Amino acid sequence: VAVWLGTARYLHEDGSPLPLARFASEGGELSFESLVAGVNSDIRSRVVLDEWLRLGVVRLDDENRVCLNAEAFVPSEGFDEKAFYFGHNLHDHAAAAARNLLGVQPALLERSVQYDALSEASMALLAKQSREAGMKALLAVNKNALALEQADAATEAPKHRMTFGIYFYTEPMPEASSAPAGKTGAAT
């Protein structure tokens, strides 16, 4: 998914993923088969396709092309896959927050905005805006990280890992709000 979303030849001009022919014989370099072979030549593209179809990461369109679900950073099916990402993301978010709480420098990015007096309609608008802005940020960071990782492969420097994540959470407020009087929003 990272290569598909981070490589210019697999993207429309607007940055959205191109649908790919299933086989190299149909699409050459712009095929799902070539994409998979470029990442790992030991795994057959059919195995990856079947699993990604099962998880909802991709779908086949009317022309039998493989279409990426652009929001497929977390599978829509498959408990084991969801549990893996849950643990990974929870750990990294908590580790960043703990590091910042302890005052380790440089501080890591860990910011949020909170509001507690929004209507359901406003919440829907903000959820949509958050999803769109978040996906734009994830795609941009993914593209840059992929290019940097490929360039860094040739160096002997110690390697690091990183996680950049986005989340949005909402729930109804209780009748008697526990927020301090006059406090309607906050940014951290």
Dihedral of the CA atoms 32, 85, 40, 27 (nearest 10)? Answer: 10
Percent of the chain with pLDDT over 70: 89
Whole-model pTM? 0.63
- Reported as a pLDDT band with limits 50, 70 and 90, residue 179 is low
Lowest pLDDT segment from 33-37, 51-55, 99-103:
51-55
- Reported as a pLDDT band with limits 50, 70 and 90, residue 60 is very high
Which residues lie below 8 Å from residue 55, measured CB to CB, with a gap of 6+?
A: 75, 76, 77, 78, 81
**CB atoms near residue 168 (< 10 Å):** 14
Domain positions in the chain: 2-68, 78-108, 111-187
Quote the pLDDT of residue 71.
65
